[in-house]
Amino acid sequence: MSVRSKVLQGINLFLNRVYIPRRILQMERPLVMHISDTPEEIYPYLYKLIKRLKPDYLIHTGDMVDNIKLEIVPMLEPDYHRALEGVINHLESSDIQEIYYVSGNHDQRAKIESLTEKGKVMNDGIIAIENSKFYINHFFVEESPKADYYLYGHSFEPKSHREGEEIRLNGLEAIHVIGLKENNLEKLPYPLGTNGFRKMERNYRAL
C-alpha cells in the first residue's frame, strides 16, 4: 500500500468513513468478502462498505452480534434477537448473490435459520464457490479438511498465515476481500474501536 493510501485510510477510519483503495475496487470479479465477530456498533460501516464494494459472496464466520456475549450473558437474548434480525435483513436486502453464516459460540443457530431467507447456515464445513474450495469455521482447529482457503474467527490466534498451498485467514484481524478469478487477496481494516465493541483486549486475548 502506498503512503498516500495509508494516510487516506487512516483519515477515513478516524472519521468512520469507508475508504476502499482503487486496487481493490478494480479487482476482477467474482469477489468474496469475509468478516467475523461483528459488534452491532460497526454495522453501519459494514453496510456502507458492502454498498460500495458490491461483493458477490459474503462469508461471516460467527458471533454476528459480538457486543453481546450471549454464551456469558444469556439474559441479553432479546437484544441479540433484535440486532440479529436487523443485520440479517440488511445483508440480505443487498445484491450479494450468496451469504454463508457460521454459527459462533455467542450465536443461536436456530434463530439465524429462522430469520434468513437467502443465507446458508452452518457450524463448519467445506463450501465451493466458483472454482475455489473454502473450509469455514468459527474456531481454528489444526486437523481441518484441506481447502484453498480456511476462514475462521473467535480469537486473534492463530494469525492469518499460509499452510502449504492453503491460505488461512483470521476474520478478526481484518475484512478480507478475495478475487476468485486470479486468487487475489486484499485486507481492509475494521473501524476504529471495533475490538473495544467486541469486548476483546488489544493484546489479542479473547473472552
d(CA 55, CA 114): 24
CA distances from 12 to 5, 21, 49, 188, 190 (A): 11, 12, 12, 12, 11
Q: What is the pLDDT of residues 43-86, one digit of tens each?
A: 999 999 999 999 999 999 999 999 999 999 999 999 999 999 99
pTM as predicted: 0.89
pLDDT score recorded for residue 202: 52
**Separation between Cα atoms, residue 139 and residue 206, nearest integer Å:** 12
- Give the residue among 132, 112, 133, 129 at the shortest CA–CA distance from 121: 112
Alpha helix (H) residue ranges in 39-188: 43-53, 77-92, 109-115
When the pLDDT of each residue in the chain is averaged and rounded to a whole number, the result is 90
Mean pLDDT of 133-158: 95
Rounded average pLDDT over 123-152: 95
Rounded-to-integer distance, Cα 51 and Cα 37, Å: 20
Tell me if 73 sits within 8 A of 115, measured CB to CB.
no
**Residue 205 pLDDT:** 41
**pLDDT at position 203:** 45
The answer to whether the beta carbons of residues 66 and 39 sit under 8 Å apart is yes
Q: Is it the case that residue 11 has pLDDT exceeding 70?
A: no
**What is the distance between the alpha carbons of residues 168 and 176, in angstroms, rounded to a whole number?**
11
Of the two residues 9 and 34, the one the predictor is more confident about is 34
Contact 125, 136 (CB under 8 A): yes
Measured CA to CA, the distance from residue 137 to residue 60 in angstroms comes to 9
